[in-house]
Amino acid sequence: MQIAALVFDAITPLDIVGPIEVLARMPGAEIVIVGKARGPVRDPRTHWTLTSEASLAEVTKPDVLVVPGGAGVRPLCSDEPVLEWVRAVHRTTTWTTSVCTGSLLLGAAGLLRGLTATTHWASKDVLAQYGARYVEERVVPQGKIITSAGVSSGIDMALTLVAKMAGDDIAKGIQLSIEYDPQPPFDCGAPSKAEPAVLDRVRQSMQRASAPAR
Amino acid sequence: MQIAALVFDAITPLDIVGPIEVLARMPGAEIVIVGKARGPVRDPRTHWTLTSEASLAEVTKPDVLVVPGGAGVRPLCSDEPVLEWVRAVHRTTTWTTSVCTGSLLLGAAGLLRGLTATTHWASKDVLAQYGARYVEERVVPQGKIITSAGVSSGIDMALTLVAKMAGDDIAKGIQLSIEYDPQPPFDCGAPSKAEPAVLDRVRQSMQRASAPAR
């Protein structure tokens, strides 16, 4: 069972490391890190350099596709070879998934038209431009497509996916193995829960940093 | 404010990417990814290749140290140059932190003697050998040392640390920016919450895989 994790420059590392940490623990899973070309991709914000081990042309029939987000998604949304690859692999995937603004790439590829979907809350208007209906939900399955909310949601998405693919007991075991018993210090992790002043400040700083596809 | 993230072969990627994703968003934070030498480190399980941009000798006075875990921690616990580096930087850090079995390295360096601390639940007996008292808690501050539980706990640890360093409002904003409103599909993320059959199966598979320092 091949699970393809797409990487690119200015990726948000947690978007992809969260789900892959979970999915790699599923029996029979084989992870492949795929980029436009083999070699390093960089996130200047966190100083991560990740290395893709395969080019798009080398990964043609993954069973699962995971598309993460980050500032680097925006240029990909008008990059026709990337869009064509997403459309092509989606034809034969069992599951096509996204984390955060990764859903914008699925949208740009035309996969979300008429569907309910989610993305990072700060990019919900961009998602709507691709014909999807945004919902502030953590994990949104629609047929074989699963979109999930901002950054950290990929962990919840991947555990949900493992439960569908391998059963609840395997998913529970993986949740225990990554000791995922979250205890965030505040209850402000979604826009509907955050204080208005905090929400305004974060929205403004994200708009300054690069907006819509952050 | 320099934040040093230690990386090594057979790291558990989420252990370090979780906290760094949070800490990199703190105003004034400068992340440095540090390894025994500059260059790539690999986790064969998830197929990640991360690249360290600095050697131990190049990072001598970080304000914050983050030590992650993974199967690769065990050999470091008897690697005297690494242990000496941990001791040396700890003398001048503002905060010395660990995620998962990263606390075993702090223990091997002699920093946890007589302290209450935590680690991945499957390694609690190893932690005790270093003179620390294990508690099944998510984030355990003891003076300037903060240890945290398995893998995913680094996100909670880092948000707690940002609140201490930069105040609650900044921490709340970062929690919102990574949309950290966790909704795990099951309530089994800690050994005290998991069904006995699931706990036994995961414990046995971790012991087979390499045990104590997984």
Q: Where are the domains of chain B?
A: 2-183
Give the pLDDT confidence of B91-123 residue by residue, as tens digits: 999 999 999 999 999 999 999 999 999 999 999
- Inform me whether the pLDDT recorded for A39 exceeds 90: yes
Asked if B31's CB is within 8 angstroms of A202's CB, the reply is no
- Mean pLDDT for A103-116 is 98
- In the structure encoding, which two tokens stand for residue B6, read together? 């230690």
Asked if B21's CB is within 8 angstroms of A12's CB, the reply is yes
**Chain A residues touching B176 at Cβ < 8 A:** 188-191, 194, 198-199, 202
Q: Provide DSSP, B46-109.
A: TTEEEEESEEGGG----SEEEE--STTHHHHTT-HHHHHHHHHHHHH-SEEEEETTHHHHHHHT
d(CA B23, nearest CA chain A) in Å: 9
Looking at residue A212, what is its pLDDT?
44
Q: Output phi, psi for B34, to 5 deg.
A: -120, 135
Is A170 part of the contact surface with chain B (CB cutoff 8 Å)? no
Asked if B160's CB is within 8 angstroms of A185's CB, the reply is yes
% of chain A at pLDDT higher than 70: 98
Question: Alpha-carbon distance A151 to A11, whole Å?
Answer: 10
CB within 8 Å of chain A, chain B residues 48-87: 48-51, 53
Residue to test with chain B: of A16, A20, A47, A140, most B Cβ within 10 A: A47
Asked if B163's CB is within 8 angstroms of A176's CB, the reply is no
- Inform me whether the pLDDT recorded for B30 exceeds 60: yes
Confidence of residue A208 (pLDDT cuts 50, 70, 90): confident
Give the pLDDT confidence of A12-22 residue by residue, as tens digits: 999 999 999 99
% of chain B at pLDDT higher than 70: 98
**Short-list A19, A106, A153, CA closest to B177:** A153
Q: What are the DSSP E strand ranges found in chain A?
A: 2-6, 30-35, 39-43, 48-52, 54-55, 64-67, 95-99, 116-117, 133-134, 139-142, 145-148
**Chain A residues touching B179 at Cβ < 8 A:** 100, 120-121, 149-153, 189-190
Is B127 part of the contact surface with chain A (CB cutoff 8 Å)? no
- Inform me whether the pLDDT recorded for A211 exceeds 60: no
Active-site annotation holder among B7, B100, B126, B139: B100
- In the structure encoding, which two tokens stand for residue B180, read together? 């950290």
| Cα A111 to the center of its chain, rounded Å | 14
Question: Alpha-carbon distance A70 to A15, whole Å?
Answer: 8
Residue to test with chain A: of B1, B6, B12, B21, most A Cβ within 10 A: B21
Looking at residue B206, what is its pLDDT?
86
Number of A:B CB contacts under 8 A?
216
Looking at residue A210, what is its pLDDT?
59
Using CA coordinates, name the residue in chain B closest to A177.
Answer: B202
The residue type of B42 is R
Measured CA angle at A41 (ends A159, B49), to 5 deg:
60
- Mean pLDDT for B125-129 is 96
- In the structure encoding, which two tokens stand for residue A94, read together? 């069992």
Residue A77 is among the residues annotated as catalytic for this protein:
no
- Inform me whether the pLDDT recorded for B210 exceeds 80: no
- In the structure encoding, which two tokens stand for residue A101, read together? 């603004």
Is A100 part of the contact surface with chain B (CB cutoff 8 Å)? yes
Complex-level ipTM beyond the 0.85 threshold: yes
- Mean pLDDT for B60-89 is 98
d(CA A50, nearest CA chain B) in Å: 5
The residue type of B99 is V
- Mean pLDDT for A4-27 is 97
Confidence of residue B214 (pLDDT cuts 50, 70, 90): very low
Looking at residue B34, what is its pLDDT?
98
Using CA coordinates, name the residue in chain A closest to B187.
Answer: A181
Is B134 part of the contact surface with chain A (CB cutoff 8 Å)? no
Alpha helix ranges (H) inside A35-92: 73-76, 80-92
pTM above 0.90, yes or no: yes
Whole-angstrom CA distances from A83 to A77, A120, A140, A201, A213 are: 7, 20, 22, 33, 16
- Inform me whether the pLDDT recorded for A84 exceeds 70: yes
Question: Alpha-carbon distance A59 to B1, whole Å?
Answer: 41
Q: Which CATH class is domain B2-183?
A: alpha beta
- Inform me whether the pLDDT recorded for B38 exceeds 60: yes
How many CB atoms sit inside 10 A of residue B137's CB?
15
